[in-house]
């Protein structure tokens, strides 16, 4: 019976067979472009370091990943949510503040918190809304809650 | 151009290249084709014992390349088939004794009088592999449903494509249906998903393969062997025949996918 169900709906994807397939996918993604996992992590850090020089990024929700259709088609796909800035910060100040607060998550630097916003949670909601491409004004935030 | 050169390779060792070469040679001869099998694994001669011809060897591949023997003298006729020959590897030399160009020249001569020249490649991606690849019209990549074997197959497929010998076709060897059904082994479909290469054969794990290597009579000559049947099917596909896959309890949708993959090229 299990065998029949497997035949109709595909195999149960547990067990070491599934693990084998996942591990193969992982290993081949890196093999095929000759970029070991550690180097990929390094690259991600470098990419982000460049981007935060110009915009404020919601660091917790950054996704930079390898995608591979087959042996000859690999791409780097990045989703890097940018935190909305109502008062455009002067680039110089922006950069300085990052250098000085390198331990602070980028999305939560002083610059990124809009004037007059009461709490952190609001800044976060704004980031989510802008990421979804929705209206990011105060009304939009209220609707979301 | 005459006959066709088919190279059997894998990257990883021990996956079944020599077993496949011997069985394809026998099956093709059984189908009435004129066949030469070449053991290109210099220093690790093996195909002779798998084919039961070890006691007939006088000259080998390197003797021919270095001019000590005529091609004919190094071709050992199979006991059972008039039109099946083996050119054995040298046992005491290394791979550098033969160059890719030597192999092209040799196979060009063999093509004139034979339908198929099948080359058993050594493991690895070095000279021995290059020797086997250079003269190939068609490449068969043998792999096992296992992480390291599939990984090495992927690497080899990349090299085959880079050498303009692609795309090649896949033989998935030693599949254990019960384990696949329990989810404890990669299925043929998983391997296909990952390598996206045409599959020319799925060979079950079969104890007869061991007895065959003990006796020097490849499993294709054993009518009760499932692996033997599967190898015969591969041989028929090589000749261009459209042979349905054996029921290995694969997910039936998979064979439809395979067909669509083939139609789409
Ligand atoms: N389908 C199979 N079922 C069981 N054993 C197999 C099968 N194919 C290969 N073998 C065994 O695997 C081992 C390696 O095979 P071999 O053909 O020598 O590999 P390679 O030439 O790739 O190194 C041998 O002991 C052989 O008997
Ligand atoms: Mg071998």
Q: Is the CB of B173 under 6 A from ligand 1?
A: yes
Does the pLDDT at position B156 exceed 80? yes
User: What range defines the domain where residue A95 resides?
Assistant: 2-133
Does the pLDDT at position A90 exceed 90? no
> Residue A107: inside a domain, yes or no?
yes
Q: What CATH number does the domain located at B4-263 have?
A: 3.40.50.300
Cis peptide bond N-terminal to B167, omega within 30: yes
- C-alpha B118/C-alpha B34 separation (Å) is 11
> Residue A144: inside a domain, yes or no?
no
**Maximum Cα–Cα distance across chain A:** 68
Domain total of chain A: 1
The angle that helices B208-215 and B226-238 make with each other, rounded to 10 degrees, is: 80
Give B158-182 pLDDT, tens digit per residue.
999 999 998 999 999 999 999 999 9
Does the pLDDT at position B213 exceed 60? yes
Question: Mean pLDDT of all residues in chain A?
Answer: 69
Cis peptide bond N-terminal to A64, omega within 30: no
- C-alpha B66/C-alpha B89 separation (Å) is 13
CA distance from start to end of chain A: 48
* A111-125, B217-231, B242-256: the lowest-pLDDT one: A111-125
DSSP helix, strand, coil percent of chain B (3-state; round to 5)? 45, 15, 40
Q: Is the CB of B174 under 6 A from ligand 1?
A: yes
Give the residue extent of every domain in chain B.
4-263
Residue B244 CB coordination number (10 Å): 8
Q: If you count DSSP H runs as helices and E runs as strands, how many of each does chain A have, helices first?
A: 6, 2
Q: Taking CB atoms and an 8 Å limit, are B186 and A70 in contact across chains? A: no
What integer is the mean pLDDT of B215-223? 94
How confident is the model at residue A45, as a pLDDT? 94
Q: Is the CB of B206 under 6 A from ligand 1?
A: yes
How confident is the model at residue A86, as a pLDDT? 72
> Residue A15: inside a domain, yes or no?
yes
User: In 3D, which of B159, B83, B87 has the Cα closest to residue B119?
Assistant: B87
Closest partner residue to A15 among B184, B194, B249, by Cβ? B184
Backbone angles phi, psi at A90, to 5 degrees: -70, 135
**Which residue has 């092209």 as its token pair?**
B104
CA distance from start to end of chain B: 24
Model confidence at A34, pLDDT cuts 50, 70, 90, reads very high
Q: pTM here?
A: 0.82
Tell me the sheet residues that pair with B237.
none
Question: Mean pLDDT of all residues in chain B?
Answer: 94
> Residue A143: inside a domain, yes or no?
no
For residue A57, the 8-state DSSP code is B
Measured from the alpha carbon of residue B15, the closest ligand is 1
What integer is the mean pLDDT of A80-105? 61
Give A122-135 pLDDT, tens digit per residue.
333 333 334 444 44
Residue B117: C-alpha distances to residues A8, B73, B150 (Å)? 42, 17, 26
Does the pLDDT at position A9 exceed 80? no
> Residue A142: inside a domain, yes or no?
no
Give B241-253 pLDDT, tens digit per residue.
999 888 765 666 8
CA B140 to the chain's CA centroid: 6
Q: What is the value of ipTM here, to two decimals?
A: 0.87
């Amino acid at each position: 019976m299990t065998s029949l169900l497997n035949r109709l709906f595909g195999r149960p994807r547990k067990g070491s067979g599934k693990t084998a397939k996942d591990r193969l996918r992982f290993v081949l993604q890196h093999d095929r472009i000759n970029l070991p996992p550690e180097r990929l992590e390094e690259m991600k850090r470098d990419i982000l370091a460049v981007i935060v020089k110009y915009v404020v990024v919601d660091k917790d929700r950054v996704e930079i990943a390898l995608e591979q259709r087959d042996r000859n088609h690999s791409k780097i796909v990045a989703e890097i949510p940018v935190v909305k800035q109502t008062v455009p910060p002067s680039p110089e100040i922006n950069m300085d503040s990052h250098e000085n607060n390198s331990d602070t998550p980028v999305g939560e630097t002083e610059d990124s918190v809009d004037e007059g916003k009461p709490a952190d949670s609001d800044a976060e909601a704004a980031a989510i809304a802008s990421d979804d491409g929705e209206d990011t004004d105060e009304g939009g935030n209220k609707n979301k809650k | 151009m005459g006959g066709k050169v088919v190279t059997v390779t894998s990257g990883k060792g021990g996956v079944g290249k020599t077993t496949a070469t011997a069985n394809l040679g026998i099956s093709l001869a059984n189908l009435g084709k004129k066949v030469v099998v070449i053991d290109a694994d210099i220093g690790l001669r093996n195909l002779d014992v798998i084919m039961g011809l070890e006691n007939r060897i006088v000259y080998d591949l390197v003797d021919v390349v270095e001019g000590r023997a005529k091609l004919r003298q190094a071709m050992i006729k199979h006991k059972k088939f008039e039109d099946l020959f083996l050119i054995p590897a040298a046992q005491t030399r290394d791979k550098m004794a033969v160059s890719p160009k030597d192999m092209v020249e040799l196979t060009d001569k063999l093509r004139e009088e034979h339908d198929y020249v099948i080359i058993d490649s050594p493991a690895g991606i070095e000279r021995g592999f290059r020797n086997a690849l250079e003269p190939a019209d068609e490449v068969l990549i043998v792999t096992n449903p296992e992480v390291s074997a599939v990984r090495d197959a992927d690497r080899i497929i990349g090299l085959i494509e880079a050498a303009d010998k692609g795309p090649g076709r896949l033989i998935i060897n030693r599949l254990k249906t019960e384990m696949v059904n329990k989810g404890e082994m990669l299925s043929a479909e998983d391997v296909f998903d990952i390598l996206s290469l045409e599959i020319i054969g799925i060979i079950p794990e079969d104890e007869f393969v061991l007895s065959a290597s003990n006796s020097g009579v490849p499993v294709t000559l054993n009518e009760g062997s499932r692996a033997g049947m599967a190898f015969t099917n591969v041989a028929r596909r090589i000749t261009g025949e459209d042979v349905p896959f054996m029921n290995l309890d694969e997910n039936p949708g998979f064979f439809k996918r395979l067909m669509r993959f083939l139609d789409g090229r």
